[in-house]
Amino acid sequence: MAEETNPQRGAPESMQVPVDESHIAATYANFCRVTGTPEELIVDFGLNKQVGGTAPETIQLTQRIIVNFFTAKRLAYALGMAVQRHEQAFGTLETDVQKRVVHPQGGRA
């Protein structure tokens, strides 16, 4: 995710950077926690296996990504654009779980 400034427009534009994916590991996560220091952000990922209103279980964190704030800002922009494109294609994503839950009697919460 590299940026360069176009002198004619003065705006950053995307530049393709070659990457090596031969050692990549894919892990599913449905939980994340963001903490940090004045120099960097720490993003922890894990799997929340709890269903509905059951008693809280400990969430096992499995991955940690540490980035500086410049990379975090580029990541936030890239994620925002990806979500925007997804919502344009498939509709708005509801992040409030209670509004997405379908009750046995029919209807939503």
SS (HEC) of the chain: CEEEECCCCCCEEEECCCCCCCCCCCCCCCEEEEEECCCEEEEEEEECCCCCCCCCCCCEEEEEEEEEHHHHHHHHHHHHHHHHHHHHHHCCCCCCHHHHCECCCCCEC
Is 7 domain-assigned? no
Q: 0.85 cut: is pTM over it?
A: no
Is 12 domain-assigned? no
- Tally of domains in the chain: 1
Is 90 domain-assigned? yes
Residue ranges making up the domain that contains 39: 26-100
Is 30 domain-assigned? yes
Is 3 domain-assigned? no
pLDDT of residue 10: 54
pLDDT of residue 100: 77
pLDDT by 10-residue block (mean), the chain, 109 residues = 49 79 93 96 93 77 96 97 97 86 63
Is 2 domain-assigned? no
Is 87 domain-assigned? yes
Is 81 domain-assigned? yes
pLDDT of residue 8: 54
pLDDT of residue 56: 76
